[in-house]
Amino acid sequence: MNVLVINAGSSSLKYQLFDMTHETVLAKGKVERIGMETAMLTHEPAGKQEIREVSEILDHTAAIRKVLRILVHPKEGVLESMEQVHAVGHRVVHGGETFSGSVRVDEEVKREIKRLFDLAPLHNPGALTGILAVEANLPDVPQVAVFDTAFHQTMPPKAFLYPIPGVFYRKHRVRRYGFHGTSHQYVSGRAAELIGRPLSELKMISCHIGNGASVTAILHGRSYDTSMGMTPLEGLMMGTRSGDIDPAIVPFAMDKEDLSLNEVNSMLNKHSGLFAVSGGLGDMREIVEAAEQGDRNAKLAFDMYEYRLRKYIGAYAAAMNGFDALVFTAGVGENSALLRKTVCDNLTFFGVKLDEAANARPGGGDRRISADDSAIGVWVVPTNEELMIARDTFEASRAALQPST
Ligand SMILES: Nc1ncnc2c1ncn2[C@@H]1O[C@H](COP(=O)(O)OP(=O)(O)O)[C@@H](O)[C@H]1O
Ligand SMILES: CC(=O)OP(=O)(O)O
Ligand SMILES: [Mg+2]
């Protein structure tokens, strides 16, 4: 059975096609700059040359059509016909309190994803557009929604409620939901396999640090607390998002700078974080390079980013009364040896001891980067949200496909 996984953002769409017999990737790629005349498709069929194609792709429906077409292309494709796409799985960022697991998409599920637009305006609209676009192109194929929030539905009320009047929760469902759940769940499961102990016996802290970034306290395999909140803005300092700030800054900024609600929202989501402190650099690679060349703002941005991350690790160690393993994942977590080193060198209090050579060694793959005598195991586990989505899609749509496949 072949499963197509779609991760639709506001202006981009990433995809991976899996053959679930052995969980092999048949092809993957992305469409960037959707909505423009110079949209770009990058397609990597397994075992063949990568293809890049610039063309006008005006919306997600057209982008999905383009992806499906290249998957069945006689030369660059990997399938003989579109009938060989048996199910489609989507990453949906916000599932509110309705979804604590993955679900088959039906009218009710689509309505609920739409109802949650207010809570994830940067993410949910793209996901629904992706679902509708697949429906338009492949009307009979089962679709499954996999939510970033689902894994965090196990958080206890003391972790997910905000200390504000109850009416906001009762009437508007204002609470902490948490995100990147598919990733936190995947890397914690993988780390337990590497450690060789059941997840149900372990206390872990996983750091998903990419463009968006969050830390999760995983107690015996379940999310116990996580740094993102009602929206993906709370918690860590990120590429362009502020993370935690004093909420009083919002009305203050609106008053002093005459900002509208939209403007202040955009300031905190798109013009803050590393980007703001460094004076225009939002990418960790650029920050590290500039800091090494003596740029003081870049150095300050790095220091703040690392310090805020480390404070969360300390908080979650206290929340769980200790921890056995620390896991790094996503773009920065997997690739920045400097960030990992700075964090770990300042956690010796907990008995963390880095294996400097293992940490500095380039190259991907799951690996332990703590010394043999470290009290806490420190791991790098490349995330694989797409594989998790493919597995859930396979499970959830198998029943529907039984008679025909
Ligand atoms: N070698 C590297 N060193 C430091 N940071 C890196 C490196 N490679 C990638 N990154 C960071 O990873 C980030 C992207 O992470 P990723 O998980 O792909 O994000 P997203 O999925 O949210 O787009 C980039 O902003 C970049 O700063
Ligand atoms: C939820 C979230 O922040 O996702 P991303 O890191 O993909 O922006
Ligand atoms: Mg990501």
Q: pLDDT digit string (tens) for 109-166? A: 999 999 999 888 878 998 999 999 999 999 999 999 999 999 999 999 999 999 999 9
| ipTM of predicted complex | 0.97
Known binding positions for ATP: 14, 208-212, 283-285, 331-335
Instruction: Please indicate whether residue 212, judged by its CB atom, sits closer than 6 Å to ligand 2.
Output: yes
Cα separation of 79 and 19, whole Å? 11
Alpha-carbon distances, residue 71 vs 21, 68, 132, 202, 279 (angstroms): 18, 5, 19, 42, 42
Tokens of 367: 């690996």
Is residue 243 over pLDDT 90?
yes
Name the nearest CA neighbour of 29 among 84, 83, 2, 68: 68
Query: Residue 27: its pLDDT value, please?
Result: 97
pLDDT at 81: 93
Assign 403 a pLDDT band (cuts: 50, 70, 90): low
Q: What residue owns the CA closest to ligand 2's atom 8? A: 212
| pLDDT per residue as tens digits for the range 274-310 | 999 999 998 899 999 999 999 999 999 999 999 999 9
Ligand 2 atom 6, closest CA: 212
Determine the atom of ligand 2 nearest the C-alpha atom of 211: 6
Say which ligand is closest to the CA of 239: 1
Residue range 94-114, pLDDT digits in tens = 999 999 999 999 999 999 999
CA distance 141 to 184: 29
Testing ligand 1's pocket by substitution, the residue of 332, 340, 383 carrying the most ligand atoms inside 8 A of its CB is 332
Q: Does 273 sit in the ligand 2 pocket, CB within 6 Å?
A: no
Q: What is the pLDDT of residue 399?
A: 73
Q: Best of 209, 309, 336 to mutate for ligand 1, by most ligand atoms within 8 A of CB?
A: 336
Task: Go through the domains of the chain in sequence order and give each one's CATH number.
Answer: 2-151 (3.30.420.40), 196-385 (3.30.420.40)
**Tell me: the pLDDT tens digits for 168-212?**
999 999 999 999 999 999 999 999 999 999 999 999 999 999 989
The binding-site residues of ligand 1, defined as CB within 6 angstroms of any ligand atom, are 210-212, 239, 283-285, 330-332, 335-336
The answer to whether the CB of 1 falls within 8 A of the CB of 87 is yes
